[in-house]
């Protein structure tokens, strides 16, 4: 059996890979590991538990709550709220642990269990490893020590979490959104109620789509991974722009008034300039990944802002932000972290801050996003190759060097082995899409012939 914890908790097909028994066992293990680590020392422990609207979240929530309470942890059940809301409430309420049940942008049959540390931050990898080891030991038959009588945890619904989170979002906005007409797409997910409420309270006129979750329709044709309906609705309604989040609302993408997509790189470019104006862009630096568009890097250079690039994955972006004390980072996918106001990517917060910039400047989103030119980016997956030899094959190294010379300063090449599959990803950026495709095709052929 492989490692249970991935880069974002434990995920799998609900009731197949991720069962009630597994969710319960992991929750009991988490309670014991945190107790041994001293997290609960001197007080009665409290956990915040939330979920997205997937049907499977109902039984998985029951299992997690049962596991925690049976281990002596009091539980505040906040119901359907975004992942960043559960993280925020974990910190704001001084809870010892947060648990979010969601598989983010994955299809409905999937679900996940994500543990959040005290303060609302990601649980350390070392603690995740210990939780997994403890779970496996007890799954093999080792008995648990369990409290009895008044020692068992108590469970109560915490409906106040909704308003607490909305008030937080509005409280950090630099200005109101009065006069803006916005379309919001909630992916039939966790932000379906809370995000429209936040935009409306901030003064925007909000039209909603994808905000009628029934437990089965999350991410189905709506949200940040399916922008077609949002584009059409923005144009049809004559809105100023549109905002789309994913199922657990940790990502945000936008659409301008003409229906053109504004991706995570463009959103970060707009927010970087906004934060720098107020002195909040610490060290005049933004953190992206190696997949950040070259146009983003060139724009930041032109504006005198440094771009630090990490490996792909929001966890690496967050690590670099914490290590360097930076305020803004994120990915092209719309996972944007504004560290002064959130401990993780928060799609609703990102959308609100973007809207605030439009309202404050009086400029359109298209004008603001025009600070960077998004260069055409071609990605080719080359399957069934020996990805371990990417950096050590002279013929491939020479082909990449030749491609880089050909593209010059207005293009870029990236060869990246997949972390989970036997394939190599070839990414090429160029000023012209046909040129990018031609170079990517040639490099893919070299990858296939040298590593196949």
Which active-site residues does the annotation give? Answer: 104
Task: Name the β-bridge partners of 328.
Answer: 286, 338
250 annotated as a binding-site residue: yes
Please give the DSSP secondary-structure letter assigned to residue 204: -
CA distance 379 to 225: 17
**DSSP three-state, residue 95:** coil
- What distances in angstroms separate CA 162 from CA 76, 121, 174, one per listed residue? 13, 20, 21
Which token pair is 11? 């995920």
CA 328, CA 340: separation in Å to the nearest integer?
A: 9
What is the H or E stretch that residue 309 is in? Answer: strand 306-310
* Cβ atoms within 10 Å of 35's Cβ, excluding its own: 17
52 is in an annotated binding site: no
What tokens appear for 190 in the block?
């966790």
> What gap in Å lies between CA 171 and CA 380, rounded to an integer?
43
Which three-class secondary structure state does DSSP give residue 419? coil
CA 396, CA 392: separation in Å to the nearest integer? 8
The reply, when asked if residue 386 is annotated as ligand binding, is no
Q: Write out the E strands in 106-228.
A: 110-117, 155-157, 181-185, 205-209
Closest by CA position to 214, among listed 441, 332, 55, 66? 55
DSSP assignment letter at 111: E
Confirm or deny that 434 is annotated as ligand binding: no
Residue ranges of the annotated binding site for Mg(2+) are: 104, 246, 248, 250
């Amino acid at each position: 059996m492989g490692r249970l914890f991935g880069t974002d908790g434990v995920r799998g097909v609900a009731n197949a890979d991720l069962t009630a028994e597994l969710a319960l066992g992991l929750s009991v293990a988490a309670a014991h590991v945190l107790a041994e680590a001293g997290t609960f020392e001197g007080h009665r422990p409290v956990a915040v538990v939330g979920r997205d609207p997937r049907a499977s979240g109902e039984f998985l929530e029951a299992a997690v709550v049962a596991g925690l309470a049976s281990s002596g942890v009091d539980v505040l059940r906040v119901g359907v709220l975004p992942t960043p809301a559960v993280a925020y409430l974990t910190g704001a309420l001084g809870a010892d642990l947060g648990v979010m049940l969601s598989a983010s942008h994955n299809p409905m049959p999937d679900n996940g269990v994500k543990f959040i540390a005290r303060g609302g931050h990601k649980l350390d990898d070392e603690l995740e490893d210990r939780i997994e080891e403890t779970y496996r030991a007890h799954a093999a038959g080792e008995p648990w020590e369990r409290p009895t009588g008044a020692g068992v945890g108590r469970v109560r619904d915490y409906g106040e979490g909704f308003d607490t989170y909305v008030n937080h979002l509005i409280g950090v906005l630099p200005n109101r959104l009065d006069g803006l007409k916005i379309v919001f797409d909630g992916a039939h997910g966790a932000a379906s109620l809370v995000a429209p409420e936040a935009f409306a309270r901030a003064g925007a006129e909000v039209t909603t789509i994808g905000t009628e979750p029934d437990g089965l329709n999350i991410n189905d044709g709506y949200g940040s991974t399916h922008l077609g309906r949002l584009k059409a609705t923005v144009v049809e309604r004559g809105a100023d722009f549109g905002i789309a989040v994913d199922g657990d609302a940790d990502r945000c993408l936008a659409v301008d008034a003409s229906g053109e997509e504004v991706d995570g790189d463009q959103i970060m470019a707009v927010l970087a300039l906004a934060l720098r104006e107020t002195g909040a862009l610490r060290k005049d630096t933004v953190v992206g990944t190696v997949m950040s568009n070259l146009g983003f890097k060139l724009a930041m250079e032109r504006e005198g802002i440094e771009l630090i690039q990490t490996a792909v994955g929001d966890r690496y972006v967050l690590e670099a932000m914490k290590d360097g004390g930076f305020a803004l980072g994120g990915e092209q996918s719309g996972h944007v972290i504004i560290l002064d106001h959130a401990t993780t990517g928060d799609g609703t917060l990102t959308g609100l801050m973007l809207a605030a910039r439009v309202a404050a400047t009086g400029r359109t989103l298209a004008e603001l996003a025009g600070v960077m030119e998004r260069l055409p980016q071609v990605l080719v997956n080359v399957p069934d190759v020996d990805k371990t030899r990417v950096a050590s094959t002279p013929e491939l190294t020479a082909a990449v060097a030749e491609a880089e010379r050909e593209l010059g300063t207005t293009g870029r090449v990236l060869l990246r082995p997949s972390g989970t599959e036997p394939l190599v990803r070839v990414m090429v950026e160029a000023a012209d899409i046909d040129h990018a495709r031609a170079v990517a095709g040639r490099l893919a052929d070299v990858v296939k012939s040298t590593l196949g």
